[in-house]
Amino acid sequence: MAAILTCDLPRYREAHRAFIKALVLKGYDQSSVEVITQTPNPDPISWANSVRKFNAIGADLIVSYGASATLAALHERGDIPVVFADVYGPVETGVAKSMNSTGTNAAGISSKVPLVTLIRTALEIKPTKSVGVIYSVREEGSLVQLREARKIAAANGVILTEANVSGTSGVDAALASLFGARVEMIYITECAAASRAFEKVVHRAAELKIPVISQMPGAAHKGALVSLEADPAEQGQVAAEYAARILSGKRASQLPVATPKRVDLIVNLKMAKTLDLHVPFPVFSAATRVLK
């Protein structure tokens, strides 16, 4: 068995640890299954090369974390079944034809959570008409979130200023453009570069009293004012369930795409105080967790 992570991020590592643990509980330990893991650089050539290595060694199944790694696996895998996890919008990214069936030799779990809930919650805390979005054109999950943000912004009379980052070296330029546009809030999509520089973005934004929001797991603990997070452990556990079923003979195309059940709306009260923002009671009531 082979596993590929879109990039070396805590969310994917946590999901993979949960996958391995759940797989062992199903009877697939090191004595019966060898798992070879690749964490390539976050770019299309590296993702493709990793999957080609899996083909060369004759992997029986590929587990992929994140939309970009999954799309590479689907494109390069040959006849090897794919189990995916942490794919934001499997249908929107082209990973699956529908949520009932991928239509291919693949199955897995979506990490999609309602972006409208995140944005509206943030706007209840700080009403604004100007939001900056950090995204990456390289990553399909990030682009899906960007397109969703555009629709939500248009429906709520919010102007979006978009900043594309292809690597961590581009984060400073992205922030300069957003600050220059006088955005009053920053939404960070699930791109690798912004995730790696998340705390830097939060710090720079906080200096200007600008809140940051995101759907990336761990965002609130890194300083986001509000986050809406699918549990990475659940992603790995469901992937293990699907992997076990496929290894026992089930066809991947017969399995529906699973949706996350463990989702947290987290409000960072400490950051709210830092930004001199009042959190309304309805927001407290809606939140599943509050960081003090």
CATH code, domain with 23: 3.40.50.2300
Same domain, 217 and 173: yes
Same domain, 65 and 127: no
Q: Which residue has the tokens 């809406």?
A: 228
Same domain, 194 and 270: yes
Same domain, 53 and 198: no
Same domain, 239 and 213: no
Predicted confidence band of residue 77 (pLDDT cuts 50, 70, 90): confident
Residue 260, pLDDT above cutoff 90: yes
Q: What phi and psi, each to the nearest 5 degrees, are found at residue 38? A: -120, 135
Residue 30, pLDDT above cutoff 80: no
Same domain, 168 and 285: yes
Predicted confidence band of residue 88 (pLDDT cuts 50, 70, 90): very high
Same domain, 10 and 74: yes
pLDDT value at residue 263: 98
First to last CA, the chain: 42
Same domain, 100 and 126: no
Burial of 122 (0-12, 13-18, 19+ CB in 10 A): buried
Q: Residues 205, 271: contact at Cβ < 8 Å? A: no
Predicted confidence band of residue 32 (pLDDT cuts 50, 70, 90): confident
Our count of domains for the chain comes to: 2
| DSSP E strands, 189-262 | 212-214, 226-230
Q: What is the mean pLDDT of residues 9-24?
A: 96
Q: What is the mean pLDDT of residues 143-162?
A: 97
Tell me: the pLDDT tens digits for 55-73?
999 999 999 999 999 999 9
Residue 89, pLDDT above cutoff 80: yes
Residue 143, pLDDT above cutoff 90: yes
Same domain, 243 and 193: no
pLDDT value at residue 26: 93
Same domain, 273 and 130: yes
pLDDT value at residue 162: 98
Tell me: the pLDDT tens digits for 188-219?
999 999 999 999 999 999 999 999 999 999 99
Task: Please give the order of strands across the beta sheet that includes 106-110.
Answer: 36-38, 2-5, 62-65, 82-87, 106-110
Residue 169, pLDDT above cutoff 90: no
Cα–Cα distance for residue pair 221/93, rounded to 1 Å: 28
- Print the domain residue range for 155: 115-229+264-291
Same domain, 124 and 224: yes
Same domain, 176 and 283: yes
